[in-house]
Amino acid sequence: MTTAPPTTAPASVPVPAAQAIQRVGVVGCGVMGAGLAEVCARAGRDVLIVSSSEAGLTRGRGRLERSLGNAVRKGKISEAGREETLARVTYATDLGSFHDRQLVLEAVPEHEPTKLDIFQTLDKVVEDPDAILASNTSALPVIRLARATRRPEHVLGLHFFNPAPVLPLVEVVSSLLTGERTRRTAAEFVTEVLGKQAIHAGDRSGFVVNALLIPYLVAAIRMYEAGYADARTIDNAMTLGCSHPMGPLALADLIGLDTVAAIASALYEEFKEPTHAVPPMLSRMVDGGLLGRKSGEGFYSY
Ligand code: 3HC
């Protein structure tokens, strides 16, 4: 684990111990929301997913079922384990259903007004004053989400990686207002309950991973846009030459091109570095609904 970032919140803010967190809420059931719900339910937690529409919930349930089917095929869980996991997950369209949650993980698209609205509502509906409210944001300032609530010391970032059931890392992101016990309990939940690895990161756009990853993906898109090499050549260069599990364009498709563009914009806004500027081709692909795997078309067809 890296050194903890500075925090000014009092150390005595009460929060539940990690193992005592049994009821988890997940806001959003896109790729990341469904993945987070799966990870928590597989760790034996009661998970309630809230999405704004029934159609969204149906798609999310499908994602969860496919991923668990995959886990059974790969021998990671038994058929009974799959059934038990699915039985631990319930679905709703109203954030008010979160009244009894002890931990809420927000995983909606990187649109700040939407996230602010959600945190404001969570603050009103989650009854346990000690509950932890976490965002899976990749690049937005956690402190702004914290200030949308009256309990900023209980708000932090828990940033998972796609595919969440497979990748072991979680960035635990403390804002200047996050309480020390919130940070410690959240990190313990990540490591001891979910069995993942945690690193602590400060509240700076991109944290550790995306601050390094996004300039690389943007550079690959610029190379492709300039016609220097085709998508397969660029991706083969990095899988075969550097032993990455997938090349940058295939990875951008996996993450979602809208998400890559949103993170790059947030990084650009924070640092004003040309390496973060969204390439015109990426903007046009997003405008055109070519979002990668989730839409069926991106740098590749799916
Ligand atoms: N549950 C548990 N394990 C599962 C699983 C599931 N639902 N589905 C697959 N697995 C396991 C498999 O059993 C296998 O484990 P093993 O090596 O122990 O046998 C492992 O996951 C790999 O699965 P597959 O063999 O099915 O697939 P691949 O070998 O083709 O790997 C991949 C697919 C995991 C996506 C791999 O290509 C990869 O790691 N790519 C890089 C992904 C990456 O970099 N993600 C980070 C994106 S950045 C991000 O998310 C941050 C955001 O803010 C942008």
Domain boundaries, the chain: 17-202, 209-287
Sheet containing 169-174: give its strands across. 89-92, 46-50, 23-27, 103-106, 132-135, 155-160, 169-174, 197-202
Quote the ligand 1 centre to 278 CA distance (angstroms).
Answer: 26
The class of domain 17-202 in CATH terms is: alpha beta
Stretch 273-298: mean pLDDT = 97
Q: How far apart are CA 265 and CA 40, in angstroms?
A: 30
Identify the band that residue 3 occupies on the pLDDT scale cut at 50, 70 and 90. Answer: very low
Stretch 46-64: mean pLDDT = 96
Residue with CA nearest ligand 1 atom 33: 245
Residue with CA nearest ligand 1 atom 49: 161
Residues 159-175: pLDDT tens digits? 999 999 999 999 999 99
Superfamily of domain 209-287: N-(1-d-carboxylethyl)-l-norvaline Dehydrogenase; domain 2 (1.10.1040.10)
Count CB neighbours of 186 within 10 A.
26
Identify the band that residue 4 occupies on the pLDDT scale cut at 50, 70 and 90. Answer: very low
* Residue 218 φ/ψ, nearest 5 degrees: -60, -40
- Name the H helices within the chain: 31-42, 54-73, 79-87, 112-125, 142-147, 180-188, 209-225, 231-242, 248-255, 257-271, 280-287
Domains 17-202 and 209-287 share a fold: no
Ligand 1 atom at shortest distance from the alpha carbon of 32: 50
Residues known to be catalytic: 138, 159, 171, 210
Give the global pTM.
Answer: 0.93
Residue 50 pairs in a beta bridge with 27, 92
| pLDDT of 258 strictly over 90 | yes
| pLDDT of 209 strictly over 60 | yes
Q: How far apart are CA 286 and CA 301, in angstroms?
A: 15
| pLDDT of 1 strictly over 50 | no
Quote the ligand 1 centre to 67 CA distance (angstroms).
Answer: 11
Average pLDDT of every residue of the chain? 94
